[in-house]
Structures are given as C-alpha cells and as structure tokens.
C-alpha cells in the first residue's frame, strides 16, 4: 500500500511582507520629518587656568570681577578693590546704574572682554543668568536709535568670598588707569 501525502503538506507558504514594507517606507520619513530637534544655546565660559601663576609675564591692567550676593552686587578690580556696590531691594536691581558703570569701564578699557562673576551660594540660578545677560552687552540710545554695545562677553564663574572678608571702601572709577586706546 502506498501512503499518499496530502497536498497541503507539500506546499510551502510564503510570507507576504509587502504591506509591512509599504508601512515602513511611509513611516520612517514621516518620523524623521516630524521629530523635534532641540536647539540649545551654549554659552562658553572661561575657567581659570591651573597654572595661572606661570602666566605672570602677561600683564593685565584690569581684572574685573562682579560679586553677586542675595542683597548686593559689587563691581571690583582685583588689584584696586571695590569700584561700586549696588544694593538689591525687594529682589530688584537698578540695572541702569550697573550698565552705566560697566559702560564707563568699557570706555576706559576698550580691549578688555573678560569678567569674573563670583557668586554667593545662596544666589538663585535665575539671578546668575540675569546678570550674565546684562554683563555681556548693553543697549544704549545713540542719535534716536537703540544700539547694542558689547561689554564683557568672556565670562568666568567662581565662588564669592564672604562679605566680612571684603569690607573696603569704594574706589572711584577715575582711579582706574586708562586702557590702551586703539
């Protein structure tokens, strides 16, 4: 007796993946087009060098610092001392006065582009960003037009000393030496 195999066992079944490939051809470009690419603004900060003592031959007349405390801002020169102190009342800073002092310093030292922001540990991150925005550039009115002037775009960040360590009198802006005029 002969055994007959059924016809169903002999036929091979092919997978139909055409519909799946059509879906992938449409889905991949759609996902790539609609993907949200986040843009981040990066502000480059200059950290102090480890071997800053060996760079003593490069003489810099102005080493500008801004000390940021919860109740005050101080603009200082590391060589001369405090230039100006601004009190923060009701979480408000008088930015016009700060801008005027920074513009005067920039006028005396046009080549200087760096400033060190020294923060107290109690200062909020939002305040740091606000100070950085005001220190980098300022808007001034020049012949009925609003003009943006670059002040100190090269920003370094550090920790502020305690208030008791720096109780010295203000130095007049006129006491600052004149920078090299171009």
Is 10 strand, coil or helix?
helix
Structure confidence at residue 52 (pLDDT): 55
Structure confidence at residue 181 (pLDDT): 47
Structure confidence at residue 75 (pLDDT): 92
Euclidean distance between CA atoms 50 and 63, whole angstroms? 17
- Could you list the pLDDT tens digit for every one of the 182 residues in the chain? 555 555 555 677 788 889 989 999 999 888 888 876 666 666 777 666 666 555 555 554 788 999 999 989 999 988 888 899 999 888 888 888 999 999 999 988 888 899 999 999 999 999 999 999 999 988 888 888 888 889 999 999 999 888 765 556 666 666 566 655 44
Euclidean distance between CA atoms 54 and 60, whole angstroms? 14
Give the residue from 82, 46, 45 showing the smallest Cα distance to 67.
82
Structure confidence at residue 59 (pLDDT): 54
What DSSP character marks residue 56? Answer: T
Cα 96 to chain centroid distance, Å, stands at 21
Structure confidence at residue 179 (pLDDT): 58
Structure confidence at residue 38 (pLDDT): 61
Cα–Cα separations (whole angstroms), residue 126 to 45, 130, 138, 154? 17, 6, 19, 19
Residue 136 neighbours by CB distance under 10 Å: 17
């Amino acid at each position: 007796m002969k055994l007959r195999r059924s016809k169903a066992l002999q036929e091979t079944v092919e997978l139909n993946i055409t519909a799946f490939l059509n879906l992938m051809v449409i889905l991949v470009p759609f996902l790539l087009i609609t993907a949200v690419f986040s843009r981040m603004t990066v502000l480059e900060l200059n950290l102090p060098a480890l071997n800053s003592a060996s760079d003593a031959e490069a003489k810099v007349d102005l080493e500008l610092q801004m000390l940021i405390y919860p109740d005050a801002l101080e603009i200082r020169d590391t060589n001369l001392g405090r230039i100006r102190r601004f009190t923060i009342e009701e979480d408000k800073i008088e930015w016009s006065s700060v801008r005027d002092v920074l513009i005067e310093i920039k006028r005396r030292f046009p080549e200087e582009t760096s400033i060190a922001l020294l923060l107290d540990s109690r200062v909020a991150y939002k305040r740091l960003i606000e100070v950085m925005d005001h220190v980098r550039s300022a808007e001034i009115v020049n012949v009925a037009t609003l003009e943006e002037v670059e002040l100190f775009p090269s920003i370094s960040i550090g920790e502020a000393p305690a208030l008791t360590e720096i109780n010295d009198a203000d130095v007049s802006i006129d006491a600052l030496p004149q920078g090299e005029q171009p």
